[in-house]
Amino acid sequence: MIIAGVDEAGRGAVIGPLVVACVSVRGKYIPKLVSLGVKDSKLLDYDLRFKLANDVRRYAYQIEYKVVDAKTVDKAVYKHKLNRLELTVMAELLNKVKYDIAVIDSPLRDCAKVVSFLSEKVEGRVLAFNYADRKFVTVACASIIAKTIRDGLVEALKEKFGDFGTGYPSDPKTIAFIREHGSEPIPIIRNSWLTVKRLFSVQKTLLDFTVDEKV
């Protein structure tokens, strides 16, 4: 049996791309990946993520990913369709790989909506769970691939635009970069994020972006 996992990296970032990855693995290799320490990329440090990414590539049946730039994310957020964008990319990736069952790290609290949306766009069986990257090895594999690809892209963007830290709103270096450059037409900043808006307006909110439960 071939099991696919799908996850993203960078959805919550205010600078840089969103990366969605799909990794399919033959069932016989899953215990090996577990023994190597594969887990949700957020639980791994930088060096270990890259080591495990190489292990994932060694044992994966197929790997596909897509990079979604900041401006495309902005367009989706302005239309309240970020979830639809992410799910559409997931479907696109699933249609490129062979699998018997696919497990999705759900971007919605209502996982049934995710299954319903994807089942209309892909042929194989699809399951969706919240925090799937902490429950299923193939999803953790996808998490590691997406995160390490994004890490590489972020480093390349820093070479071009300057050091903006991690790109996440919780990073003081990221916020300082936005304060300095947010009014400039820099394509890597997600201007749709309320984090950016509140730095340049009186608007006050505790949310970093609007959570849209619609597909």
Answer positive or negative: Cα dihedral of 92, 95, 97, 99.
Answer: positive
Out of 35-44, 46-55, 107-116, 122-131, pick the least confident: 35-44
Given a cut of 80, is residue 150 above it in pLDDT?
yes
Which residue carries 């972006």 as its tokens?
A: 209
The tokens for 137 are 């090895």
Instruction: Tell me what the mean pLDDT of segment 125-137 comes to.
Output: 97
Q: For 177-189, what is each residue's pLDDT tens digit? A: 999 887 777 899 9
Given a cut of 70, is residue 69 above it in pLDDT?
yes
Measured between alpha carbons, how far is 205 from 179 in angstroms, rounded to an integer? Answer: 17
169 CB-near residues (< 8 Å, 6+ apart): 12, 14, 175, 193, 195, 208
Could you tell me which of 29, 44, 2, 61 has the C-alpha nearest to residue 143? 44
70 CB-near residues (< 8 Å, 6+ apart): 15, 16, 17, 187, 188, 189, 190
* Bigger pLDDT: 214 vs 76: 76
Record the pTM: 0.90
Domain 2-158 top-level CATH class: alpha beta
